[in-house]
Amino acid sequence: MSKPPIGGNRTGRKLGQKVKKGKLKASSRRWIERHINDPYVQRAQLEGYRARAAFKLLEIDEKHKILSGAKRIIDLGAAPGSWSQIAAKVTNSTDAEPKVVAIDFLELDPLAGVHILQLDFLDPTAPEKLMTALGGTPDLVLSDMAAPTTGHRQTDHIRTMHLCEVAAYFAIDVLAEGGHFLAKTFQGGAERELLTLLKQNFKQVIHVKPAASRAESVEMFLLAKGFKGRKPGARSLYDSETEIDDRDVVDERDAVEAE
Ligand SMILES: C[S@@+](CC[C@H](N)C(=O)[O-])C[C@H]1O[C@@H](n2cnc3c(N)ncnc32)[C@H](O)[C@@H]1O
């Protein structure tokens, strides 16, 4: 489904453009230059996606087939909305009968077939509001949530990992049997306890770094496939007796980075 990024100028804009030195700080100028010269940004514009992030999901799906057959999808941390655009398409979602619910504390422009909640996912009312809006069990929970950066690397890491962890608990609480969970995490991967919890609840757990995720970024994704279903007495993350064995967690990072 996803093609490699175009290397040229199908948007009519040349790659390798420079931003003139002016009042901008050097770091802002570098960011703008990187953005306008990014082939994924140009391709997103061409294909009508709201963000280059679309290609991360499409590339992960190309290899791991998580979108096909999805009937209901929850998109956590959805703004500006490219993952929701894809989710609405694959579920044939309509405004009359939305099959996709998106949440973000930022405002999202309306999207056909997507029920949007402007709310912090960590708000205690969020899970119930998401489920009421969806009106049924999701078979895919997506989370591209990243905590707003503070500039302190460790703090940012901990806050995003916390979002990933809360999203994982939510997924385990709500997913249909056989469903999948995809979440943004950081290099170094998820904490072992979280991996263990996911391994207990899903048939396969994989760390993925799609090509569309910038090589210099510490971002990566955790994909848990094939939810086993809720079982009474399932062990939780806080169970001190949990035996950690992450040997079965597939790590695609080396392979992907070598490509
Ligand atoms: C990388 S962006 C998501 C991009 C999106 N997947 C797309 O395709 O357009 C991460 C989003 O997570 C949101 N976010 C971070 N923490 C959140 C929280 N606690 N609750 C809701 N949204 C959150 C941010 O506001 C931001 O819009």
Q: Which atom of ligand 1 is nearest to the CA of 50?
A: 9
Encode pLDDT of 247-259 as tens digits: 556 666 544 333 3
Question: Which of the listed residues 109, 145, 170, 185 should we mutate to test ligand 1's pocket, taking the one with most ligand atoms within 8 A of CB?
Answer: 145
Q: Which of 56, 184, 209, 225 is catalytic?
A: 184
User: pTM value?
Assistant: 0.83
Encode pLDDT of 93-117 as tens digits: 999 999 999 999 999 999 999 999 9
Q: What does the alpha-carbon distance between residue 183 and residue 102 come to, in Å, rounded to a whole number?
A: 14
Q: In what order do the strands lie in the sheet with 73-76?
A: 114-118, 100-104, 73-76, 140-143, 180-186, 219-227, 202-208, 250-251
pLDDT at 13: 55
pLDDT at 17: 63
Encode pLDDT of 134-146 as tens digits: 999 999 999 999 9
pLDDT at 151: 83
Q: What does the domain layout of the chain look like in residue ranges?
A: 22-50, 53-254
pLDDT at 186: 85
The average pLDDT across 185-203 equals: 87
pLDDT at 126: 97
Q: Which structure tokens are listed for 143? A: 């989370």
Catalytic residue list contains 25: no
CATH superfamily for 53-254 is: Vaccinia Virus protein VP39 (3.40.50.150)
CA of 238 to the centre of ligand 1 (A): 26
Exposed, middle or buried by CB within 10 Å (0-12, 13-18, 19+), for 235?
A: middle
